[in-house]
Amino acid sequence: MADTGYMARKTVADIVASADVEEGRHLSKTLGATSITAMGIGAIIGAGIFVLTGTAAAQFAGPAITLSFVLGGIACAFVGLCYSELAAMLPVCGSSYTYTYATLGEIFAWIIGWDLILEYAMGAATVAVGWSGYIVSLLRNVGIDIPPTLAAAPGTVVKLADGSTVTGVINLPAVLIIAILTTLLVMGTKESARLNNVMVAIKLTVVVAFIAIGLFFIKPEHWHPFIPANTGQFGSFGMSGILRGSAVVFFAFIGFDAVSTAAQEARQPQRDMPIGILGSLIICTVLYILVAGVLTGLVAYPELNVPDPIAKGVDAIGVTWFSILIKIGALSGLTTVILVLLYGQSRIFFTMSQDGLLPHFFSRVHLRLHTPYLSQILIGTVVAIVAALTPIGVLGEMVSIGTLFAFVLVCGAVLYLRRSDSEATRPFRAPGVPVVPVLGILFCLLLMVGLPLVTWLRLVVWLVIGMTIYLSYGRNHSVLRHPERKRT
């Protein structure tokens, strides 16, 4: 008889069996600590450092944005250890949605699945806005000017070279890149491991080159005061500004959760996973601190409120060829990030649709292309509209609060499962439970507190919309609760 409760859970055996049917194989344990660390660096270094660092420095933290990165890295360390335990409990690859379904139950799986839209779809929109800034800057280097009113969201004030300002109308370059990548995904273009490795190498080269060359052009006076005085408003510089800045640049750490799913492939998960997660987080945090330090040393922080801060920094160096190379590298990295986020969102919807929680529309596959084309087109359309009309600050804060909320649930799940399923097999056990998950929850909540009330209200509205869909559709069509409705 089907479980009709909201806490209905998939069994680990069912998920493993399903994965074996789809993959026809078991994962081999071939990854050591070094491989996991390298994987972590590749997953973490991404859009955040190229897109949101300038906004956070200009509006909230000033040169102390470096401390914001330290705080974000600490929070991720605790969450990463918890994430690894959950991922290792299921010997299959999959998102937090999949193994939450098997541990906490359907309603929590729905909440995380719905919340992940903020990380994937809104994340893609955020990166697209950053991509727009870099392409406009690159084209300007080669003598092509795109009207700023057509490359910024409505209400966004853009400062021109002569000191005057104009207000954005629509961000067309962001729409263009979303449209191109959505078309590629619909046609069946897949990101190969080799392409991904090339993109990771390009991203790392851009970051290291920016640090190495930028160091010689720093103006130390730009670092004073290091922590600008608070303006009298919470989150506007001062210590509270560091906190809010950390919540915004937390976007730069998104991706480390993907490393946690490698737990089932680690040769010695109890040893290799902590080394891989903490090692990659430490290395990336150091790189982020150096990038932020160089950036705020090259450009006075009030001038960094742009979607392409690294471009602003290399332009300040005044070496045109270097500026062009850095921007091309940044565009390459950002393009891959958008592609992965759009792809990931469609696959989460596909899985939720297969489980009956979303309409069959989202799992309909094209007979020739073998892609969830309708879902991909819908996602691309919505993301393009959001990227065209929403300021990058709003997008970044929504991505951060959505991801932080999901991480709170992940840490809470570890606490819950240590009591409810204490005998379950755990290839990797998070050390220091309950201290580590509790600290993970507290740090994530601390960063969430640093975000403005309006961002919290947007999150609440988003979750209410999600629960309305679940209660009106998902629970009535759940395959787990109504096996006779299983989709093929």
Give the domain ranges of the chain.
Answer: 29-473
Q: Is the pLDDT of residue 261 over 80?
A: no
Cis peptide before 372 (omega within 30 of 0): no
Tokens of 478: 């759940």
pLDDT band at 426 (very low <50, low <70, confident <90, very high): confident
**Which range is most confident: 32-46, 144-158, 183-197?**
144-158
Q: Is the pLDDT of residue 139 over 50?
A: yes
Which of the pair, 36 or 265, is modelled with greater confidence? Answer: 36
- Asked if 174 and 387 touch (Cβ cutoff 8 Å), the reply is yes
Which of the pair, 483 or 63, is modelled with greater confidence? Answer: 63
Ramachandran angles phi, psi of 304, nearest 5° = -95, 10
Question: Angle of helix 193-214 relative to helix 269-298, nearest 10 degrees?
Answer: 40
Q: How many angstroms separate the CA atoms of 222 and 62, rounded?
A: 10
Q: Is 425 exposed, middle or buried (0-12, 13-18, 19+ CB in 10 A)?
A: exposed
**Which range is most confident: 60-74, 177-191, 366-380?**
60-74
**Which range is most confident: 43-57, 151-165, 430-444?**
430-444
What pLDDT, in 10s, does the model give residues 368-422? 877 888 999 999 999 999 999 999 888 988 998 998 998 898 899 889 888 888 8
Q: Is the pLDDT of residue 15 over 80?
A: no
Q: Is the pLDDT of residue 23 over 50?
A: no
**Percent with pLDDT over 70 in the chain:** 88
pLDDT band at 307 (very low <50, low <70, confident <90, very high): confident
Q: Is the pLDDT of residue 477 over 80?
A: yes
Q: How many angstroms separate the CA atoms of 312 and 135, rounded?
A: 12
Q: Is the pLDDT of residue 335 over 50?
A: yes
Q: What is residue 63's predicted lDDT score, i.e. its pLDDT?
A: 97
Q: What is residue 1's predicted lDDT score, i.e. its pLDDT?
A: 41
Q: Is the pLDDT of residue 21 over 60?
A: no
Which of the pair, 282 or 30, is modelled with greater confidence? Answer: 282
**What's the whole-number mean pLDDT along residues 185-200?**
66
Q: What is residue 432's predicted lDDT score, i.e. its pLDDT?
A: 92
Q: What is residue 486's predicted lDDT score, i.e. its pLDDT?
A: 64
Q: What is residue 17's predicted lDDT score, i.e. its pLDDT?
A: 59
Which of the pair, 444 or 105, is modelled with greater confidence? Answer: 444
Q: Across all residues in the chain, what is the average pLDDT?
A: 85
Distances (CA, A) of 384 to 13, 124, 178, 184, 459: 39, 9, 6, 15, 20
What pLDDT, in 10s, does the model give residues 220-259? 999 999 999 999 998 999 999 999 999 988 888 877 766 7
What pLDDT, in 10s, does the model give residues 356-368? 999 988 888 888 8
Q: Is the pLDDT of residue 143 over 60?
A: yes
Q: How many angstroms separate the CA atoms of 335 and 389, rounded?
A: 20
Long-range contacts of 140-143 (CB under 8 A, 24+ apart): 141/320, 141/323, 141/324, 141/327, 142/324
CATH of region 29-473:
1.20.1740.10
**Percent with pLDDT over 90 in the chain:** 45
- Asked if 237 and 227 touch (Cβ cutoff 8 Å), the reply is yes
Q: How many CB atoms sit inside 10 A of residue 15's CB?
A: 18
- Asked which of 26-30, 186-190, 381-385 is least confident by mean pLDDT, the reply is 26-30
**What's the whole-number mean pLDDT along residues 313-327?**
90
Q: How many angstroms separate the CA atoms of 295 and 176, rounded?
A: 28
Q: What is residue 25's predicted lDDT score, i.e. its pLDDT?
A: 42
pLDDT band at 121 (very low <50, low <70, confident <90, very high): very high
Question: Angle of helix 320-354 relative to helix 172-186, nearest 10 degrees?
Answer: 50
pLDDT band at 3 (very low <50, low <70, confident <90, very high): low
